[in-house]
Amino acid sequence: MSKINDLFKSKVSVFLLIDAILVLAGLIVFIISNGTQGYVMLNAGWIIVAGVVALALVCCAAYAHISSRDKIWVTGIMFAALVLLCMSFGFTLIHRVDLAAALFTYDSANKLAWRAFTSGMVNVGINFLAALILSICAFIRPYKLSK
């Protein structure tokens, strides 16, 4: 029980838990966006694997932060998760902007394409927010400096 109390005493751990929830939500929205019939992203399986690994790394960073506070390898875990989140962000953005070009140019009445586009943009926003929170976590000190 003391580990759970230690988890909520630190700002970094709380931010990492919020980030884990955002990564999970982004992964679910990515799967929904990719599941739209006719608008499947090529090689999306790798991005799903990257999202699962990023989620595991964020959870590992939260747990490691409780026990090892300011070690360089905890920051390394957060950096690896950040790289995977940015890869997912860029992949989804590239594929859904390509879809937006087709929507705005040729077929603006296609409801399936609009659903794929809007869910893809929600995924991009969630991944951006998760990457932003994770990068902020890397610069927050886990303890107060003594005078």
Q: What is the pLDDT of residues 105-127, one digit of tens each?
A: 887 888 888 888 898 899 999 99
Under 8 Å between Cβ of 23 and 85: yes
Q: Flag whether pLDDT at 52 surpasses 90.
A: yes
Q: What does the mean pLDDT of the chain come to?
A: 84
Mean pLDDT of 67-90: 85
Q: Which class for 5: exposed (0-12), middle (13-18), buried (19 or more C-beta within 10 A)?
A: exposed
Distance CA(20)–CA(65), nearest Å, equals: 14
From the list 2, 44, 15, the residue with the least C-alpha distance to 141 is 15
Predicted local distance difference test score (pLDDT) of residue 107: 76
111/92 Cα distance (integer angstroms): 19
pLDDT at 145 over 70: no
The pLDDT value given to residue 51:
92
Q: Does 73 have pLDDT greater than 90?
A: no
